[in-house]
């Protein structure tokens, strides 16, 4: 068994895919499950726009990274 802490303060975790493998270890039947998960750590777009509406200073706004990431390659 493996435990993995993916966050504890408002993160949204969902299972995207589960693959199950069956086999035998020392003559004992075994089953292994591999889960692909998605973790959302930010706020949704509507909440972000609501927060932005309350801030109108010259330096307020959205930060958009120009760095290519794995996620941006998938979109």
Q: What is the pTM of this model?
A: 0.46
The number of domains in the chain is: 1
Q: CA–CA separation, 63 vs 75, rounded Å?
A: 18
In a domain, 3, yes or no: no
Does 24 map to a domain?
Answer: yes
What are the tens digits of pLDDT across the range 12-65?
Answer: 788 889 999 999 989 999 999 998 888 777 777 888 888 888 888 888 877 777
| Domain membership flag for residue 4 | no
User: Domain of 48?
Assistant: 12-74
Tokens of 22: 């069956």
């Amino acid at each position: 068994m493996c435990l993995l802490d993916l966050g504890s303060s408002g993160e949204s975790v969902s299972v995207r895919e589960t693959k199950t493998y069956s086999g035998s270890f020392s003559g004992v039947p075994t089953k292994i499950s591999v889960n692909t998960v998605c973790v959302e750590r930010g706020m949704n777009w509507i909440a972000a726009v609501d927060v932005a509406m309350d801030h109108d200073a010259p330096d307020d706004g959205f930060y958009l990274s120009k760095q290519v990431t794995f996620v941006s390659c998938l979109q």
